[in-house]
Amino acid sequence: MAHPENPAPNAEAPRPSNFVRDIVLADIASGKHAGRVQTRFPPEPNGYLHIGHAKSICLNFGLAIEFNGKCNLRFDDTNPCKEESEYVESIIEDVRWLGFTPDAVYYASDYFQQLYDWAVQLIQAGKAYVCDLTSEEVRQHRGTLTEPGKESPWRNRSIEENLDLFTRMKAGEFPDGTRTLRSKIDMASPNLNMRDPVMYRILHASHHRTGDAWCIYPMYDFTHGQSDSIEQITHSICTLEFEDHRPLYDWYIRELGIFPPQQIEFDRLNLTYTLLSKRRLLALVQQGVVSGWDDPRMPTISGIRRRGYTPEAIRTFCSRIGVSKTNGIIELGLLEHAVREDLNRRAHRAMAVLKPLKLVIDNYPEDQTEMMEAVNNPEDASYGSREVPFSRVLYIEQDDFREEPPKGYFRLYPGNEVRLRYGYLVRCTGVAKNDAGEVVEVHCTYDPATKGGNTPDGRKVKSTIHWVSAAHAVEAEVRLYDTLFQVENPNEAPEGGDWMDNLNPSSLVTVPDAKLEPSLAAAAPGGLYQFERLGYFCVDKDSTPGRPVFNRTVGLRDTWAKIEKSQKAGKGKS
Ligand code: ATP
Ligand code: MG
CATH code of residue 436: 2.40.240.10
Q: Would residue 383 count as lying in a domain?
A: yes
* Residues in the chain, pLDDT under 70: 1-16, 558-574
Between CA 80 and CA 215 the distance in angstroms is 10
The b/e string for 30-59 (b: 16+ C-beta within 10 A; e otherwise) is: eeebeeebbbbbbbbbbbbbbbbbbbbbbb
Task: Give the per-residue pLDDT at 200.
Answer: 98
Same domain, 104 and 124: no
- 421 counts as catalytic: no
Clarify whether residues 393 and 414 are in a common domain: yes
Within-domain flag for 370 = yes
Q: What single-letter amino acid sits at 150?
A: K
Same domain, 217 and 251: no
Cβ proximity of 202 and 215 under 8 Å:
yes
Active-site residue flag, 278:
yes
Domain check: are 148 and 172 in the same one?
yes
* Residue 92 is assigned to a structural domain of this protein: yes
pLDDT number for residue 433: 97
Nearest CA to ligand 1 atom 18: 238
> Does residue 375 lie within any of the structural domains?
yes
Ligand 1 pocket check: which of 48, 53, 95, 223 to mutate, most ligand atoms within 8 Å of Cβ? 53
Are residues 371 and 236 both part of a single domain? no
Residues with CB under 5 A from ligand 2 (ion): 44
**135 shares its domain with 215:** yes
Q: What is the H or E stretch that residue 95 is in?
A: helix 85-97
430 plus 294 within the same structural domain = no
CB 451 within 8 A of CB 399: no
pLDDT for position 561:
56
Question: Is residue 290 within 8 Å of 536, Cβ to Cβ?
Answer: no
Rounded to 10 degrees, the C-alpha dihedral 59/61/64/67 comes to -60
Predicted TM-score (pTM) above 0.85: yes
Where does a domain end: 466, 481, 504?
466
Residues 421 and 442 in one domain: yes
What is the 355 CA–ligand 1 centroid distance (Å)? 41
CA of 56 to the centre of ligand 2 (A): 13
Give me the pLDDT at residue 6, please: 30
Q: Based on the domain organization, do 404 and 438 belong to the same domain?
A: yes
Domain range enclosing 124: 113-222
- Indicate whether 70 belongs to any domain: yes
